[in-house]
Structure 1
Amino acid sequence: MVSDIPRRSSARTAKLASIPIGIAGRAAVGFGRKLAGGDRGEIDAKLASQAAEQLFTVLGELKGGAMKLGQALSVMEAAVPEEFAEPYRDALTKLQAEAPPLPARKVHKVLDSQLGTKWRERFSSFDDVPTASASIGQVHRAVWSDGRDVAVKVQYPGADEALRADLKTLSRLAGMFNSVMPGADVKPVLDELSARTEDELDYRIEADNQRAFAAEFDGDPKFAIPKIVASAPKVVVSEWMSATPLSTIITTGTVLQRNSAGALLAEFHFASPARVGLLHCDPHPGNFMMLPDGRLGVLDFGACAPMPGGLPPVLGRMVRLALDQRFKELTELLRDNGFVLPGKTVTHQEISDYLRPFTDPIHTESFHFTRTWLQRAAGTATDFSSQHFRTARALNMPAEYVMIFRVLLGSVGICAQLDAEAPYMGILTQWLPGFTDEVQRAE
């Protein structure tokens, strides 16, 4: 139990810095034990376990941007080499829905300020014990005055100050955090989190986003979005959803459940920009559930990007050219749209070699997403000595595409965690603008 979200910048910075410092210190001790004849495998396993525990403890206690980074990293843990991944898997998965809760008196104070001092009259009942605690708020179950079961999300006092301060500190420490999760590129994630900070802090924006999704998917046979009941800057009330968390499907789901979840998740991220004009930008398992009737339930709409008209058509043209192995045209398209750094030279053969590990899902009608496949693809891209890495240094991610690629890669990461087989190419063909345009040009 914590009394409040820690606010002082100096205290939060010291906490965050303790993660890489602590890991380095334990590594030095471990090295000494190895020299003294200790069992290498046992020592390495213990060090990794201790590092994972510290990661969860510090990021969970601080909440704010610290915890948001942990949640973002948790999506891509399937891409981390197996010898590093196991200890972090459990610790990072906890960050998807768990954090030390805010005491009831603090919750009541927020509700007083946001819903009025007579807020209790708007509820038939209110459970002071939260059902979930996340990065900048926690969720309580309640019954609205009309008898509806509702979820009440309450923002932590001081979350705004903490989130802004954390993202600045984490950006300075980005290089050191690579030692916590080898192969994870933290800096772009932090840049994108910083860009959408203010929107996430105003729950009225989240409520408007959720209303748009709920209206579009109302009665949909594949997706379920809880309707908004009430909203304020620091509190949002929505209908309660009873379903199986995606994290449970990942660990104990049947093959059928995991395949269905993977296909629905992929379709949601490709279809919603076209149908709603918004991209849901927080792809981690804590935001998705499987309902008994087979629909995918979606939560947390604080991070959404406007996508009027759907995803950019240039993405569809890229996929089509890669599918047809027209890499000379693809290289020109990448250069024309800012994906190649000015002054850098990259050949179509280098682009072909670089993309090959990532394009497996588009070369088959149904693709089996596995940790092994994702680890192999990610490992190729992060091998400093490889030609792939040298090619990557000539490439650029235009700002308008950073969030899109993070979401789509995050969705793939979850599919790998699910060990799901999904008709990925059929989903792309139906929902990705520009893909069928390329077909017409090719004929």
Structure 2
Amino acid sequence: MSDLPRKAVTRTAKLAALPLGIAGRATWGLGKRIGGKSAEIVGRELQQRTAEQLFKVLGELKGGAMKFGQALSVFESALPEEVAGPYRAALTKLQEAAPPMPTATVHSVLEERLGDDWREYFLEFEDKPAAAASIGQVHRAVWHDGREVAVKVQYPGAGEALLSDLTQLSRFAKLLGPLIPGMDIKPLITELRDRVAEELDYELESQAQQEHAREFADDPDVFVPEVLHQSEKVLVTEWIDGIPLSEVIADGTEEQRDRAGQLLARFLFSGPARTGLLHADPHPGNFRLLPADEGDEGGEWKLGVLDFGTVDRLPGGLPPTIGRSLRMTLEGEAEAIYGLLCGEGFVKEDIELDPDAVLEYLLPIIEPAEVDAFTFTRDWIRSQAARIADPRSPAHQLGKQLNLPPSYLLIHRVTLSTIGVLCQLGATVRLRDELESWLPGFLAESETAEGTAEGTAEGTADGTTEAPEECEPVADGTAAQA
């Protein structure tokens, strides 16, 4: 294929083809029905053709368009099967592969960033890419010291492409909405756009990956490859083989699925506690299931983690509010959880809700934390999505009145995406074990200790007293009685 399309008019035309194509195929479907084909058969054909066009356009454009496709792909498990089926194969392709950029372009980037003698860095370099992602592609090579490496090369013009795509996609948000019924597409696109600068900066990515590699160097469950070289548009890291999570989802054994799910949950919650960073791009293409190291007791699979281009910086780990609110909800403390949500800005000061209704809204969502082991399934997440998306349901009406503070946006998306992957895996996970080990505030004992150390005052929404009937934010972020 030609080089990465960079002209705004070219990219806009391709993206415009998505909603126009959907409308055209709808007209085609109506004609087929008039011609005698059943609505069900026509609908299936229509979805299949739409899925094929979606991959073709997003994959060729790479940039923000492909990033959007990857973000959507982890939510497909929440869709009704009649909608999810045709999209699954097309969207999953975006997690692992995309049309490559020309070899000459790859060489020119390496020459520009590593120098005319760039080949001296490598004993071997494979021109054919091993993987392609939204802003760069990966080549397998052998470093000058004999180690196998992954060489990530950023697409020329990737920054302009990302911004252009996401600007255009935000304009089409309403038309793209039917791709994922029940999901508000525009905030997702806005949040992706906010992360563009970080993802383009390979120095930031290198720092985040090195921090994880150091912390997990001797970990029996998680492996993060070391960074060997970094420049503006080139990143060289250790190579890891293993089974991509997308293959485990498609063909993995029950043992592999459960192990991958457990380790994914462990990495999600332990990473911020151990590194102060949250890996914020949890789609299956960024994970590998690796055989255990020789000599490891038990010989279980390890989780290989890739791509640290998008991280959330959480110096104190995940906010204790998350653990506290989970615990309060599980314990049925309606007044306390409502007070905490008010104090943190999840309920705006001009909104008044029934604490019992809020508790009833939250309980089904946190079911996985209520039991020792929970099996994540597509049926379960679909039932949750349907409950919240149905305009006639009380959950939908209440959910519209809740607010998501900006500091929680990325945490929320990462958590939802991880749950989506767990449901794709169909994994049975001891989630409560991970919450107790790594989530601040989830255990009452740890919160008591924190409260003593900080001199928590009576009347704050920390679960130690009854929450107020009405709450308004005060300067320290707690909930005070109006």
State the Cα distance separating 1:158 from its structure 2 match. Answer: 0.7
Distance 2:152 2:404 in 1: 34
Which deviates more from structure 2 when the two are superposed, residues 3-12 or residues 215-224?
3-12
Q: Which residue of 1 aligns with 2:103?
A: 104
Name 2:332's counterpart in structure 1.
325
Aligned residue identity for 1:218: A
Q: Which residue does the alignment assign to 1:362?
A: 369
Q: How does 1:222-301 map to 2 (within 5 A)?
A: 222-293=221-292, 294-301=301-308
Provide the C-alpha distance between the structure 1 equivalents of 2:348 and 2:34, rounded to a whole number of angstroms: 46
Q: Secondary structure at the match of 1:385?
A: coil
TM-score by structure 1 length? 0.97
Q: 1:3 offset after TM fit, Å?
A: 2.0
- TM-superposed CA distance for 1:40, in Å, is 1.8
Separation in 2, partners of 1:428, 1:331: 21
Deviation of residue 137 (structure 1)?
0.3
Aligned partners of 1:106 and 1:36: how far apart in 2? 49
Q: Distance in 1 between matches of 2:364 and 2:387?
A: 8
- Asked whether 1:426 is paired with 2:426, we answer no
Q: Which residue of 2 aligns with 1:16?
A: 15
- The superposition leaves residues 221-242 of structure 1 with CA deviations (integer Å, 9 ceiling, x where unpaired) of 0000000010011100001001
Is structure 2 residue 175 aligned with structure 1 residue 176?
yes
- Provide the rounded CA distance (Å) in 1 between the counterparts of 2:70 and 2:241: 22
Q: Which segment is superposed worse, 177-186 or 215-224?
A: 177-186
Residues 79 and 181, structure 2, Cα contact 8 Å, conserved in 1:
yes
Asked if structure 1 preserves the Cα contact closer than 8 Å seen for 2:152 and 2:236, the reply is yes
**Rounded Cα–Cα distance in structure 2 between residues aligned with 1:7 and 1:232:** 22
Question: Is the aligned partner of 1:335 residue 2:342?
Answer: yes
CA distance in 2, matches of 1:194, 1:265: 25
Q: Give secondary structure in 2 for the equivalent of 1:242.
A: coil
Separation in 2, partners of 1:344, 1:18: 41
Deviations along 1:90-141, one digit per CA (max 9) or x if unpaired, are 0000000111101111000000111111110111010000000110100000
Structure 1 residue 27 displacement after superposition: 1.0
SS in structure 1 of the partner of residue 364 of structure 2: helix
Q: Aligned residue for 1:371?
A: 378
For 2:455, the equivalent position in structure 1 comes to none
CA contact (8 A) 1:345 1:394 kept: no
CA contact (8 A) 2:44 2:82 kept: no
The answer as to 2:416 corresponding to 1:406 is no
2 CA distance for matches of 1:310 and 1:253? Answer: 32
Q: Which amino acid aligns with 1:49?
A: Q
Give CA-to-partner distance per residue, 1:27-56, whole Å, 9 cap, x none: 122123223322222111100100000000
Q: Helix, strand or coil for the counterpart of 1:124?
A: strand
Match of 2:119 in 1: 120
RMSD between aligned residues: 1.3
SS in 2 for 1:142: strand
CA deviation after TM superposition for structure 1 residue 345, in Å: 2.0
Q: Do the aligned residues in 2 keep the contact of 1:20 with 1:179 (CA within 8 Å)?
A: no
TM-score, normalization: structure 2? 0.90
1:437 Cα offset (Å): 4.1
Give the corresponding residue for 1:307.
Answer: 314
Write the letter of the residue equivalent to 2:273.
A
Higher alpha-carbon deviation: 86-95 or 162-171: 162-171
Range 27-36 or range 75-84, more displaced: 27-36
1:8 is matched by which residue type in structure 2?
A: K
Gaps of 5+ in 1: none
- Percent identity of equivalent pairs: 49
1:380 to 384, 387, 400: 387
CA shift, 1:86, in A, is: 0.4
| Greater C-alpha radius of gyration | 2
Is 1:131 aligned with 2:130?
yes
* Secondary structure of 1:264 counterpart: helix
**What's the CA shift for 1:13?**
1.5
Q: How far apart, CA to CA, are the structure 2 residues paired with 1:126 and 1:251? A: 30
Report the residue type matching 2:73 in the other structure: S
1:384 CA displacement = 1.5
Q: Secondary structure at the match of 2:96?
A: coil
Aligned to 2:454: none
1:56·1:91 contact (CA, 8 Å) conserved in 2? yes
Q: Which residue of 2 aligns with 1:7?
A: 6
**Residues 19 and 365 of structure 1: CA distance in aligned 2, closer, same or farther (over 3 Å):** same
Counterparts of 1:89 and 1:435, CA distance in 2: 35
Give the secondary structure class of the aligned counterpart of 1:130: coil
Query: Which aligned pairs between 1:168-207 and structure 2 lie closer than 5 A?
Result: 168-207=167-206
* Amino acid across the alignment from 1:209: A
Following the alignment from structure 2 to structure 1, what is the Cα–Cα distance between the partners of residues 338 and 157?
Answer: 47
Name the CA distance, whole Å, in 2 between partners of 1:353 and 1:82. 27
